[in-house]
Amino acid sequence: MNPTAQKALAAYGGKERWTTAKTITAEVSVHGWAFTLKRRPFFKHARISMEIARPVSRLTPIGKAPQITGVLNGHDVYLEDPTGKIIAERKNACRYFPGGRRLFAWDDLDMAYFANYAFWNYFTLPALLLREDIAWKELEPGPREASLEATFPDTLPTHNPVQRFRFDPKTGLLIQHDYTAEIISKLATAANVVLEHKQGTEILYPSRRLVTPRTPSGKALPGPTLIAITVHDFRME
């Protein structure tokens, strides 16, 4: 591993913790223009659980119905009722974006795909540094940051193939994640800025994030707020 990846992994609990842990559970609230644009309700203290080693994630509620869970399994998604019965499903969900009616509105399955893969990418970042199917490259450091470029395989659901992660060179903590949310638009370049970290029961985790457009140079614009994320609780098991 390159020095920046090593420091980041250490900052978030260390290699042993992320190779032995199996799952993450969290409670999140999310709002922003991206939800409004797609006519989606905001997440208010939604519950999410996921596997660390593979992109499997569950988010409740996924929409207006309080007991309906949106589930991601790789590139496939489905909805579950409170008994665990599958009430709707969509294979290879990414191939339906971004055209057609999805330019104007997303249904629960669309949101199940987007929200679950996004959170899986955000929450499992330390483990992503250890994956052999992601190509990590250390970039020239800036005056206030150390950066990694990640090239994702098409087998993993993510925003776009090549992304940039900016870290504090002293602490190793993530300060900004740059990507293009291609399922919204190939022009949806975004800066996901970490505003706050909190100490959980076991590890430090990003507790507040703000996603806004970014300039070609990588600077996060002050607005509009595309997505604002608050993590109320975060646990690894």
Distance CA 26, CA 203 (A): 13
Q: Could you read off the pLDDT of 59-69 as tens digits, one per residue?
A: 999 999 999 99
Q: What is the pLDDT of residue 157?
A: 98
pLDDT at 201 over 90: no
Which H or E element spans position 235? strand 227-236
Q: What is the pLDDT of residue 175?
A: 98
Which whole number is the average pLDDT over 8-33? 97
Q: What is the pLDDT of residue 49?
A: 98
Give the chain's largest Cα–Cα span.
53
Domain extent listing, the chain: 3-232
The mean of the pLDDT values for the chain is 96
Q: What is the pLDDT of residue 104?
A: 94
> What separation, in Å, do the N-terminal and C-terminal C-alpha atoms of the chain show?
25
> What fold does the segment set 3-232 form as a domain?
outer membrane lipoprotein receptor (LolB), chain A (2.50.20)
Q: How confident is the model at residue 15 (pLDDT cuts 50, 70, 90)?
A: very high
Distance CA 186, CA 149 (A): 19
Contact by Cβ (8 Å): 208, 194: yes
Q: Could you read off the pLDDT of 92-127 as tens digits, one per residue?
A: 999 999 999 999 999 999 999 999 999 999 999 999
Q: What is the pLDDT of residue 191?
A: 98
pLDDT at 142 over 90: no
pLDDT at 55 over 90: yes
Closest CA to 183 of 216, 163, 158: 158
Q: What is the pLDDT of residue 117?
A: 98
Which whole number is the average pLDDT over 24-28? 97
Q: How confident is the model at residue 143 (pLDDT cuts 50, 70, 90)?
A: confident
Which whole number is the average pLDDT over 207-226? 96
Which whole number is the average pLDDT over 186-214? 95
Q: What is the pLDDT of residue 200?
A: 85
Q: What is the pLDDT of residue 90?
A: 98
Closest CA to 111 of 38, 191, 54, 188: 38
